[in-house]
């Protein structure tokens, strides 16, 4: 019995030990301040295009450290510096969120909904092709689409017959992006299931690292069809010079249809958030407010690879849980 | 007729120098071309190795890949040399899918016909894909063009050289032709000269028996007018000699007697006949003939040629002494050779003429009837026998001394 108490005490002591010691085995880039805890920022090491990478987050760290309001709040709360911590995939991210390892995290929306450590969303990513509405609604949503290549029989047929689509798509391969992308994976596949009652693919899934990669796979003929974010289609076509910049949505759709055919489109889904520990929620934390403000201004100033961050509330992500629940019930776990 | 001289050709060395320079330039360009080709091959090999080591094309059975990595590799391959690069993934089904640029199959379905593509295989067995490279061959084409140009210039230069050489050969052939023509003319002239010479020889030789017969007959008429047997035999002998000469009027048989006429001759007999033949000039001159004992004086020769030899030498001596003096013919065997010395007490032959006198139409008795052929014929006869005929001054008699040096013939009984 005493031994059990001793072990429990040791576990609690280890957990409460200064953060700089725990960070030594996982930090990829950190300014270590002896005896003062780090303000820890977590992110996925390699995710689909649109998430900030290590270089961009390094700029953010410098911006935060240079911000007078953040400096003041760091002194008030006892933080000695900022550490950047990369996660090796979704499972690692969720595990570390549940362990409250991060003060701030850039995370896919579905992972945010899966964590159970009480983080709250303070910002949402906004990319150029996202659906937005002007303040005060500050609505930012993203669409997912299922596309077919010119080599597919569906490309020429213009068929919307569910049986025909099931007969073609269901017997072939489907290119998809990481399961951690709601708009690029869950939403379009759910739309396909809803509209055509198509849940499985005989050829299996072809996994790609981003929605843009899915579009390229379909265009090159590597995959006959793919599910991705809608914005990726335009960015790839424009980037390759196949479609000119600045077209109206109708004109873009007309020119897009020369190279791809959209057979399903999802409902708008909320974009990926920046989340903070509940204690740093801006409504009750001056540090949370300072950090949120600095991230917003920094992202606007640096454009962060065409991603901006808009204010968000935790309530915006409630619909996400319903979508994921439906996905799990209709399609279930996707084997990888 | 004097032929016009051919117009002088420009010197050949500038052309040769130009050709040497062209060859050197050609060698340099070929070396440069080799460097360019090797550089291209190395760069293409590097591109293939990059795709193989990074494995971005995956295995044929996998249709999952990272376009961003392929694009990174493709950008790394771009250079001044590699203008365009197309990356093709090979699938297990045998499809060849263009994955870089990913839209190429859609935007340019006939892309392969729009450039000079080099196909490079990526991966071992099985191949995972191919690289199609549009190599900038401008430098290589420039070098090839210059090489071709130099090649043409070299060919032109060599053609010019060959033409000039052919011209020279033609000139040489013409010159040889002219030379042959001149030679033929000279030969003809020589033949004519020889004919004249032979005519003179004939005259010179047939004159002797005729004059001898006339002399003997005149002598007999002056004394008693009755022909003696000796006179008649002498006339017959001289007539035979005369007829023999007429038979020998053929060109070769006169100058070079046929081997068929060669027989064993006794020099003593030949000397005796010769002296009798020219007896008409002997008056007032003492003649001594001696043959060293214990030797035979047989040689293989044409008999009348020996008579001709010695009669010429004796006649020369008689005429040189002009009716008063001494003639000595002494034969001996010296060092295995038969030597016959013919000496007289005449004025002799000046040193400067001792070799010339053996040339045709050279005489020391200009204006006194000498034809200048006697000694020439003598030397010809002696040389035909393999001997030598020389002349110097006689120490005893003070006049000319002819030395006939003949090889000894093998005795008939030893044959």
Q: What is the pLDDT of residue B370?
A: 65
Q: What is the pLDDT of residue A26?
A: 42
Task: Identify the residue whose tokens are 């595990």.
Answer: A95
* B191 pLDDT tier (thresholds 50, 70, 90): low
Please give, rounded to a whole number of angstroms, the shortest distance from the CA of A153 to a CA of chain B: 16
The verdict on A87 and A53 lying in the same domain is yes
Q: Does the pLDDT of residue B150 top 60, yes or no? A: yes
* A7 pLDDT tier (thresholds 50, 70, 90): low
Q: Does the pLDDT of residue B82 top 70, yes or no? A: yes
Supply the DSSP symbol for B384: H
Domain residue extents for chain B: 13-136, 259-414
Please give, rounded to a whole number of angstroms, the shortest distance from the CA of B117 to a CA of chain A: 20
Query: In this structure, are residues A55 and A45 in contact, taking their beta carbons and an 8 Å threshold?
Result: no
Supply the DSSP symbol for B351: G
Question: Strand A38-44 relative to strand A225-229: parallel, antiparallel, unpaired?
Answer: unpaired
ipTM over 0.85: no
Mean pLDDT over each residue of chain A, to the nearest integer: 85
Count of other CB atoms within 10 angstroms of residue B168: 13
The verdict on A227 and A176 lying in the same domain is yes
Q: Is A249 inside any structural domain?
A: yes
Kindly determine whether residue A240 and residue B102, on different chains, have CB atoms separated by under 8 Å. Answer: yes
Q: Is A236 inside any structural domain?
A: yes
Q: Is A185 inside any structural domain?
A: yes
pLDDT tens-digit readout, B279-304: 888 888 999 999 999 888 998 898 88
Query: In this structure, are residues B131 and B87 in contact, taking their beta carbons and an 8 Å threshold?
Result: yes
The verdict on A199 and A103 lying in the same domain is no
Q: What is the pLDDT of residue A25?
A: 40
Chain centre distance of CA B175: 15
pLDDT tens-digit readout, A265-324: 999 999 989 999 999 999 999 999 999 999 998 888 776 667 788 888 888 888 888 899
pLDDT tens-digit readout, B87-98: 999 998 888 899
Distances (CA, A) of B76 to A19, B36, B50, B130: 42, 20, 9, 16
Please give, rounded to a whole number of angstroms, the shortest distance from the CA of B52 to a CA of chain A: 20
Q: What is the pLDDT of residue A21?
A: 37
pLDDT tens-digit readout, B239-269: 887 777 776 665 444 445 555 678 889 999 9
Which residue in A49, A211, A216 has the most chain B C-beta atoms within 10 A of its own C-beta, making it the best mutation to test that interface? A216
Fold adopted by B259-414: Heat Shock Protein 90 (3.30.565)
Q: Is A133 inside any structural domain?
A: no
Q: Does residue A129 sit in helix, strand or coil?
A: coil
Give the CATH number for residue A101.
3.40.190.180
Which residues, in sequence order, are CB contacts of B283 under 8 Å at separation 6+?
B323
Kindly determine whether residue B106 and residue A222, on different chains, have CB atoms separated by under 8 Å. Answer: no
The verdict on A250 and A278 lying in the same domain is no
Q: Is A229 inside any structural domain?
A: yes
Which residues, in sequence order, are CB contacts of A23 under 8 Å at separation 6+?
A30, A32, A38, A40, A83, A85
CA distance B37 to B50: 20
Q: How close are the terminal C-alpha atoms of chain A, in Å?
A: 45
CA distance B213 to B276: 11
* Count of the separate structural domains present in chain A: 2
pLDDT tens-digit readout, B333-383: 998 899 999 999 999 998 888 888 888 777 776 666 666 778 888 998 899
The answer to whether residue B92 neighbours chain A at the CB level (below 8 Å) is: no
Kindly determine whether residue B99 and residue A209, on different chains, have CB atoms separated by under 8 Å. Answer: no
CA distance A272 to A229: 12
Angle among Cα A90, A96, A99 to the nearest 5 degrees reads: 145
The verdict on A281 and A210 lying in the same domain is no
Supply the DSSP symbol for B387: -
The verdict on A62 and A179 lying in the same domain is no
Q: Does the pLDDT of residue A200 top 50, yes or no? A: yes
CA distance A226 to A233: 11
Count of other CB atoms within 10 angstroms of residue A178: 21
Q: Is A174 inside any structural domain?
A: yes
Task: Identify the residue whose tokens are 């080599």.
Answer: A151
pLDDT tens-digit readout, B104-120: 988 888 888 887 889 99
| Domain span at A296 | 2-127+272-318
Supply the DSSP symbol for A38: E
Q: What is the pLDDT of residue A279?
A: 93
Name the residue in chain B with its Cα closest to that of A177: B64
Give the CATH number for residue A241.
3.40.190.10
């Amino acid at each position: 019995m005493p031994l059990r108490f001793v072990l429990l005490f040791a576990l609690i002591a280890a957990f409460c030990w200064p953060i700089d010691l725990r960070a030594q085995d996982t930090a990829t880039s950190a300014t270590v301040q002896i005896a003062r805890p780090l303000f820890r920022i977590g992110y996925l090491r390699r995710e689909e295009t649109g998430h900030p990478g290590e270089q961009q987050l390094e700029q953010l760290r410098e911006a935060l450290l240079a911000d007078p309001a953040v400096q003041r709040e760091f002194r008030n709360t006892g933080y000695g510096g900022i550490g950047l911590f990369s996660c090796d995939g979704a499972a690692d991210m969720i595990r570390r969120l549940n362990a409250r390892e991060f003060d701030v995290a850039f995370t896919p929306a579905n992972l945010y909904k899966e964590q159970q450590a009480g983080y709250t969303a303070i910002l949402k990513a906004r990319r150029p092709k996202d659906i937005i509405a002007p303040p005060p609604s500050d609505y930012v949503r993203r669409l997912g689409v299922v596309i077919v290549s010119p080599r597919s029989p569906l490309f020429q047929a213009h068929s919307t017959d569910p049986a025909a689509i099931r007969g073609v798509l269901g017997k072939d391969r489907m290119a998809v992006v990481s399961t951690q992308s709601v708009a690029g994976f869950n939403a379009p596949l759910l739309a396909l299931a809803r509209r055509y009652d198509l849940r499985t693919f005989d050829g299996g899934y072809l996994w790609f690292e981003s929605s843009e990669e899915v579009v390229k796979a379909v265009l090159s003929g590597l995959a006959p069809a793919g599910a991705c974010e809608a914005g990726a289609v335009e960015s790839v076509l424009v980037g390759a010079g196949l479609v000119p910049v600045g077209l109206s949505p109708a004109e873009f759709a007309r020119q897009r249809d020369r190279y791809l055919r959209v057979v399903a489109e999802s409902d708008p889904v909320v974009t990926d958030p920046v989340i903070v520990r509940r204690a740093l929620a801006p409504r009750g934390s001056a540090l949370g407010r300072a950090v949120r403000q600095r991230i917003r201004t920094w992202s606007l100033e640096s454009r962060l690879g065409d991603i901006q961050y808009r204010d968000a509330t935790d309530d915006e992500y409630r619909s996400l849980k319903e979508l994921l629940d439906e996905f799990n019930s209709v399609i279930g776990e996707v084997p990888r | 007729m004097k032929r016009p001289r051919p117009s002088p050709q420009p010197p050949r060395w500038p052309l040769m120098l130009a050709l040497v320079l062209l060859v050197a330039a050609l060698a340099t360009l070929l070396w440069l071309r080799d460097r360019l080709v090797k550089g291209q091959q190395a760069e293409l090999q590097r591109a293939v190795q990059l795709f193989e080591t990074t494995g971005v094309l995956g295995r044929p059975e996998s249709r999952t890949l990272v376009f961003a990595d392929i694009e990174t590799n493709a950008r790394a391959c771009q250079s001044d040399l590699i203008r365009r690069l197309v990356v093709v993934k090979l699938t297990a089904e045998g499809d060849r899918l263009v994955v870089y640029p990913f839209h190429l199959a859609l935007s340019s379905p006939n892309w392969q016909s729009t450039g000079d593509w080099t196909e490079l295989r990526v991966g071992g067995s099985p191949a995972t894909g191919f690289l199609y490279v549009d190599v900038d061959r401008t430098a290589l084409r420039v070098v090839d063009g210059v090489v071709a140009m130099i090649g043409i210039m070299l060919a032109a230069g060599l053609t010019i050289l060959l033409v000039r050489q052919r011209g020279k050969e033609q000139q040489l052939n013409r010159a040889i032709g002219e030379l042959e023509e001149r030679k033929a003319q000279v030969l003809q002239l020589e033949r004519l000269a020889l004919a004249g010479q032979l005519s003179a020889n004939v005259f010179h030789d047939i004159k002797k028996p005729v004059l001898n017969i006339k002399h003997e007959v005149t002598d007999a008429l002056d004394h008693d007018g009755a022909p003696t047997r000796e006179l008649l035999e002498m006339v017959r002998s001289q007539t035979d000699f005369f007829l023999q000469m007429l038979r020998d009027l053929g060109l070769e048989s006169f100058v070079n007697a046929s081997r068929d006429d060669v027989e064993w001759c006794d020099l003593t007999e030949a000397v005796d006949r010769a002296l009798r033949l020219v007896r008409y000039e002997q008056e007032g001159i003492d003649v001594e003939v001696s043959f060293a004992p214990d030797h035979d004086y047989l040689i293989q020769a044409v008999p009348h040629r020996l008579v001709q030899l010695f009669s010429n030498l004796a006649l020369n001596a008689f005429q040189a002494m002009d009716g008063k003096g001494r003639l000595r013919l002494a034969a001996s065997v010296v060092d295995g050779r038969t030597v016959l010395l013919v000496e007289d007490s005449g004025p002799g032959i000046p040193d400067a003429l001792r070799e010339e006198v053996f040339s045709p139409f050279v005489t020391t008795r200009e204006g006194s009837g000498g034809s200048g052929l006697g000694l020439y014929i003598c030397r010809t006869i002696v040389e035909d026998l393999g001997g030598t005929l020389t002349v110097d001054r006689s120490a005893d008699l003070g006049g000319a001394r002819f030395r006939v040096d003949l090889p000894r013939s093998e005795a008939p009984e030893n044959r």
